[in-house]
Structure 1
């Protein structure tokens, strides 16, 4: 009798496991091609304490409103653990697609894989995820932008100019790719005497630049991997009265004004509106069952004082 009871328990367990298949819940399945009603999109931003990301968020929301989609926005506050929790919360709220701007390209992989497990498509914007299945990465040509910055410095100061580099958050694809593009030119045509992370932050950019200036009196130019660090560096340089060329990256409103005022020499401008539009439009295509490109690069451009007049 005892053996018979154990057999029944095992059989029941197998039945329940079979019933709990890995089939995604109905709200996680792609919409039919003719039905994009009641679409709910989750947008996880790395931080909303940076004007670039605030504007990018606004462009995503604007396009989602245009498409008639509901959108839920969460702010990771540059905390990878919080971002993973945020994404899990979005999944629980029944989003049909996830747009993720990763705080850390490695750390976000767990959240991407969780979404994969329930069949929710993931699109990353501005930064990549190192693991997990991402339907599409929509980002500026970061490698090309870094190369463009180095070429501009060579053009302005000549080969062999002494340069410092302010790096973004270690572990982000944007920092890695912008650095890669910059060094593809700088390592042979410029003299990079110092590089240090300032985490894409204006205050840190100022503090790091102050230290670099004290230890490196020969610096002629600075490449900052985003505008916030560039603006901080420019403030530190202005306090010394030195004439140092500063190139940022993003094309934020503050940076464009600083270029116009002569406080920054140039910025590599991203097209925020286009990134936001493409992110939402790509999500719509995926939900309709259409095939999309795994990598959708958005062009960038160099903006100098002559361009901002």
Structure 2
């Protein structure tokens, strides 16, 4: 060994070489995993009020408690609050977590913060929503949103039958991967493309019920011939339902949605819209926490996209589209 090393340097070397941990060093500190290190998990959701993300957070908390992991949950202030999520990531890094689970509001808006966390040895897993590129995180546990959109489109098209479609589309947050994938999947399932004259109107409503109601009211001022409606999620569907009901147009419209929350399944049972495509956020959360615990324990990381599945829920099944009825849906829904 060459001479001139300070006592502090020698202590640091001994600390790294005698713990048996996988230590990833970075400017300003280090993150140690392996040798049964305790998992310290931070969860960042889009909001802390949407029932979907409440269910995801509760499932993550329960799994972390079961496995003896430390757990902290933060969120943006509203759907689309990218800056709030960046601040949350920075907060969790300062708290010394070794895994961050995130449902990103923007596919690209949190990439710099995620990179900074990963550069410090923190594993980052996306839940529910992919980043762009997907390799910006270590792994993703989510619904295949293109497939879920395709299921919704296939169902609405099948129920509409031979009627020439007059389609209105209520999209989510422009630029988000979930919005793009569900929109694209729906059109694939329906057999249309963007720009088709059968699409008589569309509006971005950020997955919000009140914005969806206002957006649908605006569209109906010039599109009362509507007979098919795409909605990004169940709050959007409830807003669309209110606007259609006020105009007396419910009986002429086939509407579908995506989420699988208990309220959404009840809406389908009550006949407010024909079907919803159920997601499984508790499964996403549990898988993410399990991976975080394994990473802390052994240093092993998951990789790639893992589809957590989806299922059409309807009491009016159509041939060729696998589905479950609302009784099954109410037993398996989230947000009870």
**TM-score normalised according to structure 1 size:** 0.87
Q: 2:166, 2:217 → 1: CA distance?
A: 16
Cα offset, 1:136, TM superposition: 0.6
Query: Which residue matches 1:115?
Result: 117
1:143 is aligned to 2:150: no
Match of 2:258 in 1: 249
Counterpart-to-counterpart distance in 1, 2:310 and 2:246 = 31
Superposition map of 1:221-232 within 5 A: 221-232=228-239
- Corresponding pairs, count: 287
What secondary structure sits across from 1:193 in the alignment? Answer: strand
Say if 2:300 is the partner of 1:302: no
Say whether residues 1:173 and 2:177 are aligned partners: yes
Summarize deviations over 1:256-278 as a string: whole Å, max 9, x none.
Answer: 11111111211111012211111
Specify the alignment match of 1:8 in structure 2: none
Q: 2:199 aligns with which of 162, 172, 192?
A: 192
The answer (yes or no) to whether the contact 1:29–1:120 under 8 Å persists in 2 is no
- Runs of 5+ consecutive residues of structure 1 not aligned to the other structure: 1-14
Identify which of 128, 137, 141 aligns with 1:134.
137
1:217 is aligned, of 206, 211, 224, to 224
Partner of 1:64: 64
- Give the aligned partner of residue 87 of structure 1: 89
Question: 180-189 or 93-102, which moves further after superposition?
Answer: 180-189
Partner in structure 2 of residue 11 of structure 1: none
Contact 1:202/1:231 (<8 A) preserved: yes
Kindly tell me: are residues 275 and 105 of structure 1, through their superposed partners in 2, closer, same or farther at Cα, counting changes over 3 Å? same
Match of 1:42 in 2: 42
Alignment of 1:91-106 (within 5 A): 91-106=93-108
Offset at residue 27 of structure 1 (A):
5.7
The CA RMSD over aligned residues, in Å, is: 2.1
Aligned mates of 1:212, 1:96 — CA distance in 2 = 47
Task: Give the TM-score of the pair, scaled to structure 2.
Answer: 0.80
The separation in 2 between residues aligned to 1:199 and 1:44, in whole angstroms, is 19
1:239 alignment counterpart = 246
Q: Check if 1:157 corresponds to 2:123.
A: no
Deviation at 1:187, TM superposition (A): 4.5
Q: Which runs of 5+ in 2 are unaligned?
A: 1-8, 14-23, 317-324, 328-336
Q: 1:259 aligns with which of 265, 268, 271?
A: 268
Moved more, 182-191 or 139-148: 182-191
Give the SS at the match of 1:200. Answer: coil
Q: Judge conservation of contact 1:41–1:96 (CA < 8 Å) in 2.
A: yes
Task: Tell me, in whole angstroms, the C-alpha distance in 1 between the residues paired with 2:189 and 2:136.
Answer: 32
Structure 2 CA distance for aligned equivalents of residues 290 and 250 of structure 1? 32
